[in-house]
Structure 1
Amino acid sequence: MILKMIDLSLMAEHLPVHKAEMDKLASYICSIQDPEIKKVATEQYMIMQNHVKVMVALMDPVQNETIGINYLNNWEPVQLNCQQFSLGMSQENILTELKTFTETMANKNFNSGLRMKAENVRNIHIHMALQQVMVLNRYIILTDKFIKDTAPESSRKEQEATMQTFKNMFNL
């Protein structure tokens, strides 16, 4: 199938971003000391490596109609060349960067997917976003373990007052 220009353009624009982000992710993985964080980051690298292969396959007019969301589960092990590598960043800062980066990738995939015309290309990108959300959830759990939560708590009174404001606004 010949893709609409928007589908091809969004993927062509996204792939160099993937390359840069994967290179950055590899440097983070090489600097991470904590095995739990390293495991999640390595799995994310494999997921993203697979996303690249799927996007390139979607560009192939001979086979792109046969590519479905099941192709997103074909991860391959990765061997990174880490030679005495250190970014000079704390594990907490790396984890914060990984979390932010993952949120961005999920957003980019989801927003691109919403704009795409070919159904399988759109569905694959939405599922790519969901895979990033799954990774993000794992980073959030690790963040809760390693970094003090700085978001202020609200009170029951504040929450109920806020709820009442919207009940009134929507006549509920």
Structure 2
Amino acid sequence: MILKMIDLSLMAEHLTVHKAELDKLESLICSIQEPEIKQVATEQYMIMQNHVKVMVALMDPSQNQMIGIKDLHKWEPVQFSCQGISIGMTPESTLTILKTSAETMANKNFNSGLRMKAANVRNIHIHMALQQMKILNRYLELMNKFMKDRAPESSREKQVQTYETFKKMFKL
């Protein structure tokens, strides 16, 4: 199948972003000491590496109609050639960067998927976004475990006041 130019363009842009994200992830993984964080980051790397293979296959007009969501689950183990690499960041900073990476990739995949024309290409990108969202949730769990929550607490009064404002606004 010959893809619409928008599908091809979005994937071409995506692939360059994936290359940069994979390079960044590899550097981070090599410097992570905490096994739980390293495990999730490695899984994100494998997922994104698979996304690259799927997108490249979707560009191939002789096979792209046969590519589907099932192809997103064919992860391959990875080996990193870490040679004493340390980027000198705290685990909290590393987790924040990893979380932001997963958020960004989920957002890019979802927004691109909404714009794509070929049904399988669109559905694959929506599922790529969901995979990144699952990774994001795991990073958030790790942040709750390893970091102090920095979001300010609300109060019952503020919440009820906000609730009443919108209940009145929408005449509920």
Structure 1 counterpart of 2:28: 28
Question: Alignment identity in percent?
Answer: 75
Structure 2 counterpart of 1:164: 164
Structure 1 counterpart of 2:15: 15
Matched, 1:91 2:104: no
State the SS of the aligned residue for 2:78.
coil
Structure 1 counterpart of 2:79: 79
Aligned-residue offset at 1:152: 0.8
Aligned residues: 172
**Amino acid in the other structure paired with 1:36:** E
- List per-residue Cα deviations over 1:56-105 (Å, max 9, x = no partner): 00001011111111100000000010011100111111011000111001
**Amino acid in the other structure paired with 1:21:** E
**Amino acid in the other structure paired with 1:158:** K
Matched, 1:38 2:46: no
Distance in 2 between residues matched to 1:45 and 1:159, nearest whole Å: 39
Q: Extract unaligned runs of 5+ from structure 1.
A: none
Query: What is the correspondence of 1:87-126 to structure 2 with a 5 Å cutoff?
Result: 87-126=87-126
State the SS of the aligned residue for 1:161.
helix
What is the alpha-carbon root mean square deviation over aligned residues?
0.5
Distance in 2 between residues matched to 1:163 and 1:124, nearest whole Å: 38
State the SS of the aligned residue for 1:106.
helix
TM-score (normalised: structure 1): 0.99
Structure 1 counterpart of 2:135: 135
Structure 2 counterpart of 1:67: 67
Distance in 1 between residues matched to 2:170 and 2:92, nearest whole Å: 42
TM-score (normalised: structure 2): 0.99
Structure 2 counterpart of 1:55: 55
Distance in 2 between residues matched to 1:50 and 1:162, nearest whole Å: 44
Aligned-residue offset at 1:160: 1.0
- List per-residue Cα deviations over 1:112-138 (Å, max 9, x = no partner): 000000000000000000000000000
Q: Comparing 150-159 with 105-114, which one deviates more in the overlay?
A: 150-159
Q: Extract unaligned runs of 5+ from structure 2.
A: none
State the SS of the aligned residue for 1:36.
helix
State the SS of the aligned residue for 1:150.
coil
**Amino acid in the other structure paired with 1:102:** A
Distance in 1 between residues matched to 2:97 and 2:90, nearest whole Å: 11
Distance in 2 between residues matched to 1:88 and 1:53, nearest whole Å: 32
